[in-house]
Amino acid sequence: MSYFGHVFTHLRKDLQLEWRSRDSVVGMLFFALLVVIIFSLAFDPTAAVSRQIAGGILWVALLFASFTALNQSWTREQRNRVLDAQRMSPSPASALFLGKALANLIFVSFVELVLAPFFLIFYNLHALGQGWMLAVVMPLGTWALVCNGTFFAAMSLRTRYREVLLPLIMVPISLPALLGMMQATTAILTGESDPGIWIRLLVAYNIAFTTVCLLLFETVLSAE
Amino acid sequence: MRRSRIYSTVGLVWLVLTLAAIAHGTRLALVVAPTEATMGNVQRIFYYHVPTSMLSLLFPYVNFVASAFYLGCRRRDPMRALTADAVAIAAAEVTVVYSSISLLTGMLWGRAAWGIWWTWDARLTSMLLLWLLYVSYLMLRKLSATGQTQTLAAVLSVFAAIDVPIVFMSIRWWRTQHPAPVFFGGPDTGIDPSMMPAFVWNIVGWAMWGVFLLVFRYALERRRQEREQEAALKSIEGTLEIAQ
Per residue in B113-122, pLDDT (tens digit) is: 888 888 888 8
* Domain-embedded: residue B209: yes
pLDDT tens across A46-84, in order? 777 888 888 888 999 999 999 988 988 888 888 888 888
* Mean of pLDDT over chain A: 89
Candidates B170, B173, B174: best to mutate against A (most CBs of A within 10 A) is B170
* Domain-embedded: residue B44: yes
* Domain-embedded: residue B189: no
pLDDT tens across B224-234, in order? 999 988 998 89
Residue B114 burial (CB count, 10 A): 14
Contact B140 A220 (CB under 8 A): no
pLDDT tens across B134-154, in order? 999 999 999 887 778 889 999
**Cβ under 8 Å to A: B residues 56-75:** 71
* Domain-embedded: residue B188: no
Count up the domains in chain B and report the number: 1
In SS3 terms, chain B reads as CHHHHHHHHHHHHHHHHHHHHHHHHHHHHHHHCCCECCCEHHHHHHHHHHHHHHHHHHHHHHHHHHHHHHHHHCCCCHHHHHHHHHHHHHHHHHHHHHHHHHHHHHHHHHHHHCCCCCCCCHHHHHHHHHHHHHHHHHHHHHHCCCCCHHHHHHHHHHHHHHHHHHHHHHHHHHHHHCCCCCCCCCCCCCCCHHHHHHHHHHHHHHHHHHHHHHHHHHHHHHHHHHHHHHHHHHHHHHHHHHHC
**Cβ under 8 Å to A: B residues 149-188:** 151-152, 155-156, 158-160, 162-163, 166-167, 169-171, 173-174, 177
pLDDT tens across B90-99, in order? 999 999 999 9
Give me the residue from B132, B144, B155 closest to A172, CB to CB: B132
Torsions phi, psi of B54, nearest 5?
-60, -45
Residue B215: which domain range? 13-179+196-243
* Domain-embedded: residue B36: yes
Which ipTM score applies to this complex?
0.88
* Domain-embedded: residue B1: no
Domains of chain A, residue spans: 3-221
Check: CB of residue B173 under 8 Å from CB of residue A200: no
* Domain-embedded: residue B56: yes
pLDDT tens across B58-74, in order? 999 999 999 999 999 88
Any idea which of A181-185, A220-224, B200-204 has the lowest mean pLDDT? A220-224
Check: CB of residue A209 under 8 Å from CB of residue B158: no
Give me the residue from A156, A172, A224 closest to B129, CB to CB: A172
Question: What predicted TM-score, i.e. pTM, was given to this entire model?
Answer: 0.88
* pLDDT greater than 70 at residue B243: no
